[in-house]
Amino acid sequence: MANKSTGAIIAGLFLALFTSITLFMTISIFFDLFGIREKEGNYVLFVVIANFIAGLIYIPAVYGFFTKKEWTSRLLFIATILLVVTFIGLTIYIMMDGIYERKTIFAMIFRTAVTFGFAILALRLINRSKKVSN
């Protein structure tokens, strides 16, 4: 039991770091802080907005990991669905000759996979441990 508890705390710490980076980067693009907007090149605004929303969803999910709330996995699955829908939109945007950076594709794949991974971790570390202890 302590192992799963420690795992949830470690996952929460990594999600907190991921959340911080996500929110820092999206806010920096929105407000053109530190010249990040220029460094990002041809960013796709709806992708940045979706990443920002995902970052906002990560905040209560971090809390959920630390306090072992069963709804943590649901929040992270919602964020995953948001990112998948955004990736589908990005694909359509690219097929319609929209201007984008190639790194956006890789970043979306990475962010979606990481978010899905956190959702699975929450399911295994929190939800299943709650069922075992009941």
Q: State the total domains in the chain.
A: 1
Provide the residue range defining the domain that includes 63: 2-133
C-alpha R_g of the chain = 16
Question: What's the pLDDT tens digit per position in 60-92?
Answer: 999 999 999 999 999 999 999 999 999 999 999
Please give the pLDDT value at position 83.
98
Q: How confident is the model at residue 3 (pLDDT cuts 50, 70, 90)?
A: confident
